């Protein structure tokens, strides 16, 4: 059974709605959501009929597309999934979906040679590999880095839409340091990925209206709010992270030159995969090479440098050298006070 693009958009929209268990969804709510999605993605402004959405729900409940979605009606009014963990995105890819994916892959491949679409290369490779493994029932031939247990990924699309539409979000968030979660209004500006974790940069309402960087895996709930969106007038989003490793940065923070020596055995790793785009080779020195990068000093930079262990020595600036020496001293102190395993203690007794 052929499924057109508009129907796929409606199925995905209904699925996103029913997965959001913080709201009770009536049929009218689902109709509105589908109408908004078709207008956003296809520019269709005539809306969606009641009969179409009812037919979509029945199609999702059936096995014609392989979904067999457990859609139920609560209190004879509200639609939801009987299984809170269900999503059509967890279902096997149907032949119709495969056809759509193949068409998308063919279209994207036409742009792979253009410099301004260089970021598409990895995405196209991922898509082609997924299509290959599904069609041939063979293991993937490309193993991309991923974290299947990462929380918060389901918020990405909603946040992206809020940024585009300039909508305020109501966020319930608990950082690793906080004893309990807090809820506040937030104007989102930019989604940022770093080492398979996702972050959102934006302005927190109240408390002076300062920039805030939130980790998506620490968000407990998020939804649109009617409070007025606060435009970004503080930073250039296109270049904000150019002088930083990671995501930790405050407006007005200034970068500095970080100089480091690394032994000859590990220097090739630094040459082929620079720590930062500002990296420069400075000199050959004492069985190693000296490089520099120009970045803001932050936690992620320290962790990156410490990861090389004894293979690296930071030469400047002094404040960074001092901080790294303190961290290394603490590490040595921990090793000096390692408790013996329980089995060794028993043997001594």
The pLDDT value given to residue 209: 74
- Whether the link from the prior residue into 317 is cis, omega within 30° of 0, is yes
Q: What is the pLDDT of residues 107-132, one digit of tens each?
A: 666 666 555 566 666 667 777 777 67
β-strand partners of 184: 171
pLDDT band at 349 (very low <50, low <70, confident <90, very high): very low
Q: Where are the domains of the chain?
A: 5-90, 95-136, 153-225, 256-336
Q: What is the pLDDT of residues 83-98, one digit of tens each?
A: 988 998 876 666 666 6
Mean pLDDT, the chain, whole residue set: 86
CA–CA separation, 80 and 307 (whole Å): 47
pTM equals 0.66
Compute the average pLDDT of residues 45-52. 91
Q: What is the pLDDT of residues 174-212, one digit of tens each?
A: 988 888 899 999 999 999 989 888 999 999 998 777 889
pLDDT band at 285 (very low <50, low <70, confident <90, very high): confident
- Structurally, at CATH architecture level, domain 256-336 sits in 2-Layer Sandwich (3.30)
Instruction: Judge whether residue 268 has pLDDT over 90.
Output: yes
Q: Mapped to the 3 state alphabet, what secondary structure does the chain carry?
A: CCCCHHHHHHHHHHHHHHHCCCCCECHHHHHHHHHHHHHHHHCCCCCCCHHHHHHHHHHHHCCCCCCCCCEEEECCCEEEECCCCCCHHHCCCCHHHHHHHHHHHHHHHCCCCCHHHCCHHHHHHHHHHHHHHHHHCCCCCCCCCCCCCCCCHHHHHHHHHHHHHCCEEEEEECCCCCCCCEEEEEEEEEEEEECCEEEEEEEECCCCCCEEEEEHHHEEEEEEECCCCCCCCCCCCCCCCCCCCCCCCCCCCCCEEEEEEEECCCHHHHHHCCCCCCCEEEEEECCEEEEEEEECCCHHHHHHHHCCHHHEEEEECHHHHHHHHHHHHHHHHHHHCCCCCHHHHHHHC
Domain 5-90, classified CATH 3.30.450, yes or no = no
Domain 153-225, classified CATH 2.30.30, yes or no = yes
Quickly tell me which residue has 């958009």 as its tokens.
Answer: 9
Instruction: Judge whether residue 146 has pLDDT over 90.
Output: no
Compute the average pLDDT of residues 305-332. 95
Compute the average pLDDT of residues 164-176. 92
pLDDT band at 2 (very low <50, low <70, confident <90, very high): very low
């Amino acid at each position: 059974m052929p499924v057109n693009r508009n129907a796929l958009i409606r199925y995905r929209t209904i699925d996103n709605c029913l997965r959001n268990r913080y709201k009770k969804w009536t049929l009218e709510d689902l109709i509105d959501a589908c109408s908004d999605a078709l207008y956003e993605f296809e520019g269709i402004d005539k809306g969606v009929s009641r009969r179409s959405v009812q037919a979509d729900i029945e199609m999702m409940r059936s096995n014609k597309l392989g979904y067999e979605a457990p859609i139920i009606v609560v209190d004879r009014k509200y639609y939801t999934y009987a299984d809170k963990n269900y999503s059509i995105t967890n279902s096997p890819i149907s032949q119709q979906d495969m056809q759509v994916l193949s068409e998308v892959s063919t279209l994207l491949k036409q742009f792979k040679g253009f410099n301004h679409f260089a970021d598409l290369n990895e995405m196209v490779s991922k898509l082609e590999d997924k299509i290959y493994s599904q069609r041939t029932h063979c293991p993937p031939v490309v193993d991309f880095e991923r974290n299947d247990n990462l929380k918060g990924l389901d918020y990405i699309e909603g946040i992206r839409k809020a940024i585009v539409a300039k909508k305020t979000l109501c966020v319930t968030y608990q950082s690793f340091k906080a004893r309990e979660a807090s809820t506040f209004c937030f104007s989102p500006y930019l989604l940022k990925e770093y080492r398979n974790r996702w972050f959102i940069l934006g302005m927190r309402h109240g408390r002076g209206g300062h920039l805030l960087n939130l980790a998506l895996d620490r968000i407990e709930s998020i939804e649109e709010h009617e409070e007025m969106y606060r435009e970004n007038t503080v930073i250039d989003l296109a270049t904000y992270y150019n002088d930083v490793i990671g995501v930790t940065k405050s407006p007005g923070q200034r970068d500095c030159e970080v100089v480091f020596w690394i032994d000859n055995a590990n220097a090739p790793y630094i040459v082929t995969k620079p720590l930062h785009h500002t990296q420069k080779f400075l000199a050959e020195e004492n069985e190693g090479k000296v490089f520099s990068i120009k970045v803001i000093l932050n936690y992620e930079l320290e962790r990156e440098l410490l990861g090389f262990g004894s293979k690296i020595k930071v030469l400047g600036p002094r404040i960074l050298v001092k901080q790294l020496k303190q961290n290394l001293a603490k590490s040595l102190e921990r090793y000096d006070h390692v408790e013996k395993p329980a089995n060794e203690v028993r043997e001594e007794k």
